Structure 1
Amino acid sequence: MKLSFPHPLIILLVFIILAALATLIVPSGSYDRVLDEETGREIVVPGSYQLTEDKNASIFDTGLAIPEGIILGADILVLILLIGGAFYVIEKTGALQVGMEALVYRFRNTQYLLLVILSLFFFLGGASFGMQEEIIAMGPILVLLAKKINYDVRATVALSLGSALAGASFSPINPFGSLLAQKIAEVDFAEGLFYRLIFTALVFVIWTGFHVRWGKSKLIQLDKVDFKPAKISGTHAIILTLTLAGMILMPWGIIQQEWGYNEMSALFFVIGLSCGLIGKMGLNGTARAFSQGFSEMIFAGVLVGLARSVYLILEKSQIIDTLIQAMFQPLEALPTTLATIGIFFSQGIIHGVVPSTSGQAVLTIPLASPLVDLMGISRQIAVLTYQYPAGLMDLIIPNNGGMMAVIAAAGIAYNDWIRYIWKSWLLLLGIGLISSILALLWFA
């Protein structure tokens, strides 16, 4: 009998159990922390690590972490539900179908250009404000687009979610990644900006080109696709305009108004309700569509919560600092290039334990900065060797709830996602490593 690959829920439960078992093996310890007035965050004090009383996670603690993780992710869960519900309402009005058909017809002879524009949109979203969870509700749209142009749905996810994560990883302006790390490391933002932008552009071209080229579905189409012009009615035009306005307002609110998940949730709830009424679905029809959207998205939201449960167990047991101390301390004695490579891969491993890029920056940059000082190299190396691997790991680690939720919403199994993405992921990882090593010469 052929064994099936584990369900995403089972994968995350296994990670929760592994995290609990790790607390029985790894001793508890912690660094002292102080408030950084410039960033408003607590950062660790280098050299302050000390062992503490072991706080092993019991069976009860492990079970309790599951609902606690979901509760901690309540703001993201609400965002997923409300945006998902809103898009479901918009889909029920028929505007989404008509708009997609019109878009495909417009690019019927230049589908590659459509995919490049799609990738650029999400790449810039990731680069500017770390877009990820916002893509979850777009899963059905990506599936629809893939079917319309006969592309592998995994390719459309790679050109949306993947582009956003690649953009966030290599961006010099991501406030939750590079900018935060540079502030903590006390380095000038303008220093090496041109160098960073070169690799940002290179990554966009390579990533987009790879998936546009290899994403074309290999399935044989029995019937030739006949592209027909789609007529967009006045009602559909208003609904699509409102939807587009919401997608433009969201990054503006995040960047300019410091919006959080609640503001984004409220925005799309209003847009969804308005579109339902404009689409003549009525109050009851709109409400029913919202509830159907909730049911479609609830699983994706739970995955995000379970991913937080893994981190919660490790944090409460105080073994995260111990793991980081064990990884960074041996690097002090290595030659500069080897130490740079060591920091790079250590940061990648650490992100599997701390799946928050901003949280990882606060935790590791205060330790990596004095480490590179001892090696006599620029602190920009500490930033780059954190930024690249941390962002790229989000593409593959199961305890990144955002990624797991997006592929679940698109109907993609985790093993199928990894089978498709691993070559291009290794390619970007290699570019990040090369950039980190060449930076030793650039910032010398």
Structure 2
Amino acid sequence: MGGVPGAVSGVQRVLVVEPSPELLRRAARAGFLVWSLADRGRRGGAHLREVAGRSRGLLLVDTGDAPAVRGAVACAVREHGIAHVLNLGGVRTAGPVFAAAQDAGVAVNPAHTVEVLTDRGALRALLSPHPRLRVRARRAYGGAGVERAVAGFGGQAVVVRSARPGGPRRAELLRGQREVGRWRLGQGGGGQEPFVVEEYLPGPQYAVETLSVDGMHQVLGIIALETTGPPHFVTTTHLYPAPLAGRDEAAIRSAVCAVLDLAGFENGAVRTTVVHGPGGTPRVLACRPGLDRADHAARLVRLAGGADLEEAALRALTGEVPAAVPAGRSAVVGLVCGPPGDGAGDGAGGGSDGGGFDGGGFAGFGAGGGFGAGVLAGVRELPCVAGVEVAGRGVSPGCAAHGHGLVAVVGAGARQALGHLAAARARLAGVGREVT
């Protein structure tokens, strides 16, 4: 990976975007000197205080302001001799972070790679010459452009979604030209937003977590995704490890690694969302370079006893090839209290950038919670974040009555873990009825 400009007596200087305190503890134990970049508007002063206390320096910016993020990263690299930049902020920060790293000379991938992977139109163009990976798609601008693009599919069902990573428009299935008017009305006319209109891909969906070092791609986990289905494909459940037959798993791994090779991706983490369509042929729906703490994949894989995705990504910066760790049990993260009204998933051609949950915080459960260990067997207490109220170590009725949240459970296998999740959801639904 070349020389390390930030190495001082063997110590690596790293800027981590949106780190967790847990990662900062592990980084310190591994001998890294870490500077952190976080959103200045993040809820929870305690979190930021802990991040600041475990960092050599903390940069606070509006992570929705791309120029501000890019400037902060460039300043940190220049002033502190940063050797590596690790993005845990997902698609929201990926573009400006990777661009700033490129400008500062510390990028670990070719300049075009991130843009190709995150721009849906560019990804479809990249894969179009390859029959095994091709998905029929058209780029469109505004409502009128979408109407023309849908007409080009001759009545075939299509999915319309934002072309830009993290775009504001939720995905929607349109079953032919007659539904375009309804879509335009619901989208406020569509403006001049760039969209991608692509063929609808039915079938089970999976999120594939990879980590690459010098062009060697290691699959560290495959997560099964459950969605609400059409028209908006809101992701409701993540299950790890995905229960896959050997041949199907091999086909998914092969497709994902082929896409990364075609894009020229060489170093770092990528989440690739795949649909396993009729006939067992995997098709790539979306790619998202970097890790994203908001999709909870690292916690899910860690709960199952698999690889530590965040620590592996950190160590990979110095050229350490990650090792796949077989899961010892099954883990599930699922929405409770109902999906958000305006959310969007990425299943079957859906709308988010990588099959993550759109909004929602963890509902913390534990032995001291208000629902009883017998009712909530297998549930693991997790930090509560925005949108979920906690009373003691249980969840307040306000969650079930007025909002939604997430819960994580473990089991000896997929069936048991999903059963525990169903029990937790049923209990919370009962609480919601009690207080409405």
TM-score, with length taken from structure 2:
0.26
Name the structure where helix makes up a greater proportion of residues.
Answer: 1
Between structure 1 and structure 2, the one with the greater Rg is 1
Task: State the structure with bigger RCO (CA 8 A, min sep 6), 1 or 2.
Answer: 1
TM-score, with length taken from structure 1:
0.26
Name the structure where strand makes up a greater proportion of residues.
Answer: 2
